[in-house]
Structure 1
Amino acid sequence: MKVIVLGAGVVGINTAYYLQSQGHEVTVVDRQAQPGAETSFANGGQISVSHAEPWANPGAPLKVLQWLAKEDAPLLFRLRADLRQWLWGLSFMIECLPSRTRHNIAQMVRLGTYSRESLQALRAETGIDYEQRTQGILHFYTSAKEFDAAIGPTEQMRALGCDRRLISADEALALEPALRHIHPQLAGATYTAADESGNALMFTRKLASLCAERGVQFLMNHQITALRSAGGELDYVEAIDGEGRFTQLKADAYVLSLGSFSPLLAETAGLRLNIYPAKGYSVTMPVRDASLAHEVSLTDDEYKLVFSRLGDKLRIAGTAELNGYDRELNPVRCQAIVRRVEQLFPGAGDASQAQFWCGLRPATPSNVPYIGKSKLGRLYLNTGHGTLGWTHGCGSGRALADIVSGRKPEVDFAFTGQ
């Protein structure tokens, strides 16, 4: 079957890989010149099954209210005259109910575990290298209140098979000596030994090259402008190539993996996807003193930041700003990240050479992505992964390829269209 994958980020490329592996003729279409050039470009680097507690949880509404006026808040709703944002926000509030939070954690743990296993199998099969580290992920807490709030979700994750362990401040220090500067402030931590980290951009581009070697076609520099339907199914895709020429792309099946732009394209075919862009930031800086720099990938839940070691560089990423499709770097938010890094690991990185980046994460109110059949015939969805596109990329691509092929995926997940 001929399949067109719309989007060349980490999710789209994984989808193309698994579709091709199942014998399909695959074409990937993207507006950028290279794969992974948008949200996958400089993310936090974590393969984090343990990062399964959604933003929408019982404690979130009060925090959001407290953060509304703070320019450097970890989660900032910048209220706009934007109906899409308000509808998303109302859905977010519903997902904060305890029952919804428990349901969403279960979905993300199951998909995350399956995806991590799929990545490990892909790595063993292909020998792909992407500065990966398999030393686990350590969540640390400098607030006793935040640590106490993490106990319930951690226990639920363990019951679901994610071996996230509660550990003491001393145990955290033994696992990651770079935490010694803040050891007196540590209220506790959790550790998930099976979690990993790595360079998502390097992975995406190497996997794209492997796809091309195996026959996947790439139409880069193609701006997708509309999805056109007829008779209750997707008929063709409209696009403009790099030379400004209009083209129609036709296939037997189509996969929408355009991240935050997915709902805009879906609307052209009469579909509504409850996805809103959450602008996230990252800082990348060279290691200045290796003896002070972390080796284990870390998560600072209070400040919504993750820390990964990518070769001789430190990658710190996180926070979320709901401000439409604005992609302007906010220096206040950039410096807030640098300030936190210096508080935690003074002297570890060279902040004078810091590189700042922001990208639009495709967030659903529940943090659970759309994976599966759409209401429109021949159109499949693999989008809305929020902060976990790198974590869920392999698993969602593999599962979606099974669905397109008429097979039942091996993971227990609430797929769309099922």
Structure 2
Amino acid sequence: MKVVVIGGGVVGITTAYYAARDGHEVTVFDRMSGPARETSFANAGEISPGYATPWASPDVPAKALKWLFMEHAPLILRLQSIDPAMVAWGLAMLRNCTPERYAANKAKMVRLATYSRDMLRALRTEEGIEYDQRSQGTLQIFRTQKQYETAARDMEVLQASGIDFELLDREGCCRAEPGLANAAELVSGGLRLPGDETGDCFKFTDALTKIAKARGVSFHWNTEVDALSEDKGVVSAQIGSQTIKADAFVLAGGSWSPRLAHQVGIRLPIYPVKGYSITLPIIDEINAPQSTLLDETFKVATTRLGNRVRVGGMAELAGFDRSLNPKRQRTLERSVFSLFPSLAETQERNFWCGHRPMTPDSVPFVCHSKHRNLWLNTGHGTLGWTMACGSARMIADKISGRQPETNIT
């Protein structure tokens, strides 16, 4: 079959790889100059099935009001950027903030993320890809006793999903991450998931692109799909004056997917939630993090990537704005240096931002559309790296007529 993948981030490239491995003729179109040049470029680097958690949780409405007035808030609403799409997305998210929907959505996310981690491990072994990966788990840090006590809700879902976890006191956190012994601020405890992994998403995607090309995948960079059209249930694409036809199109364009989907009568409730990161060279090896830490207070992840540390997080609702706000950098620094004061003395920061394609319930679209030859693989939010391999394997299975090993419907 002729398969066209629209999007060259980690989700699109893994989809192209698996489809080519199944023997299909695969072409990838992306408007950037190479793979993983947008949201996949400098994300937090965590592969965390257990922390695949919906943003829409029962306590979010109350927290969101408090965050609006915090200096280092994990959620930022740019009032001048409010538009109908943001309002509709926000209202849909609020409808998912019930205990029942939270539990159902988290179960779907954990199932897909766990399957995806297993697919990544198999792919890594088969292809021998190196991407600064580590398999030393994730530690969620609680700065207050209340955060420590409310971890019970997530532990119930983890237990039901068969995810290994450990609830740790301060001493246990320091055993897992020795660098925390010198933290400038007290840590009350933490929730550790030993089965989680870390890795550089850009390095992985770039390496997999070369492997996919060797398998026959054709890549067209600096090429934007201008439009999709539909005739009698069959979709085609327009690039300039050229009409592209295929047996299967896979829309994997992240936050830019809704525009194309809308042209063929599909409404995707995906909003571009802006996230930030900084990348620091490690100066003090002894007191540096060994894996990933999630700071529950600031919603910031600190991840070890070889001889670097990636610090990423926050959620800014500002449309497709790409400006780098120095206040967000200070929040990232506030989180990481309060935990690892002597991590880096250099002023090198590599400040970056990207737009995560968020759905109101945090569950991505990994499915067949209403059109015969159009598939959706988009809306992964903050978990594109975590869910990429599993989502791609599912789509490739469906295109090839196989029943996927897991599902999230």
Is TM (by shorter chain) over 0.5? yes
In 1: Cα distance, 2:262 partner to 2:252 partner:
14
Once superposed, which parts of structure 1, at least 4 consecutive aligned residues long, lie more than 2 Å away? 68-72, 77-81, 181-184
In 2: Cα distance, 1:230 partner to 1:148 partner:
55
Could you give the per-residue CA deviations for residues 89-144 of structure 1, whole angstroms, max 9, x where no partner exists?
01100111110000011001100110000000001111111010011111111111
- Counterpart of 1:252 in structure 2 is 247
Indicate the percent of aligned positions where both proteins have the same amino acid: 46
- Counterpart of 2:18 in structure 1 is 18
SS at match of 2:112: helix
Q: 1:13-412 to 2 correspondence within 5 Å?
A: 13-70=13-70, 72-79=72-79, 80-182=81-183, 185-234=186-235, 236-240=236-240, 246-412=241-407
Cα deviation, residue 172, structure 1 = 1.2
In 2: Cα distance, 1:369 partner to 1:328 partner:
26
Contact 1:287/1:313 (<8 A) preserved: yes
Flag structure 2 segments of 5+ consecutive residues without an equivalent.
Answer: none
SS at match of 2:371: coil
Cα RMSD of the aligned pairs, angstroms, is: 1.3
The one-letter amino acid of 1:160's match is S
Name the TM-score, length of structure 1 as normaliser.
0.95
When structure 1 is superposed on structure 2, of 179-188 and 19-28 the one drifting more is: 179-188
SS at match of 1:50: coil
The one-letter amino acid of 1:95's match is N
Could you give the per-residue CA deviations for residues 285-341 of structure 1, whole angstroms, max 9, x where no partner exists?
111111111112111122111111111111000111011111111111111111222
In 2: Cα distance, 1:173 partner to 1:207 partner:
36
Contact 1:154/1:165 (<8 A) preserved: no
Cα deviation, residue 266, structure 1 = 0.8
When structure 1 is superposed on structure 2, of 27-36 and 76-85 the one drifting more is: 76-85
The one-letter amino acid of 1:271's match is I
Contact 2:143/2:296 (<8 A) preserved: no
The one-letter amino acid of 1:135's match is Q
In 2: Cα distance, 1:126 partner to 1:137 partner:
25
Contact 1:285/1:350 (<8 A) preserved: no
When structure 1 is superposed on structure 2, of 140-149 and 380-389 the one drifting more is: 140-149
The one-letter amino acid of 1:325's match is F
Name the TM-score, length of structure 2 as normaliser.
0.97
Contact 1:71/1:333 (<8 A) preserved: no
SS at match of 1:145: helix
Cα deviation, residue 271, structure 1 = 0.9
When structure 1 is superposed on structure 2, of 83-92 and 288-297 the one drifting more is: 288-297
Contact 2:274/2:356 (<8 A) preserved: yes
- Counterpart of 1:243 in structure 2 is none
The one-letter amino acid of 1:7's match is G
In 2: Cα distance, 1:123 partner to 1:195 partner:
15
Judged with a 3 Å threshold, the aligned counterparts in structure 2 of structure 1 residues 81 and 309 are, in CA distance, closer, same or farther, namely: closer
The one-letter amino acid of 2:256's match is F
- Counterpart of 2:3 in structure 1 is 3
SS at match of 1:191: strand
In 2: Cα distance, 1:90 partner to 1:375 partner:
25
In 2: Cα distance, 1:339 partner to 1:171 partner:
23
In 1: Cα distance, 2:68 partner to 2:370 partner:
36
Contact 2:270/2:379 (<8 A) preserved: yes
Could you give the per-residue CA deviations for residues 351-388 of structure 1, whole angstroms, max 9, x where no partner exists?
51111000000000111000010122211000000000
Cα deviation, residue 183, structure 1 = 8.4
In 1: Cα distance, 2:399 partner to 2:168 partner:
42
SS at match of 1:224: coil
Could you give the per-residue CA deviations for residues 192-231 of structure 1, whole angstroms, max 9, x where no partner exists?
1110000100000000000000100001110111111111
Aligned residue pair count: 408
In 1: Cα distance, 2:287 partner to 2:125 partner:
32
Cα deviation, residue 410, structure 1 = 0.3
Contact 1:164/1:191 (<8 A) preserved: yes
When structure 1 is superposed on structure 2, of 344-353 and 202-211 the one drifting more is: 344-353
Cα deviation, residue 70, structure 1 = 4.0
SS at match of 1:49: coil
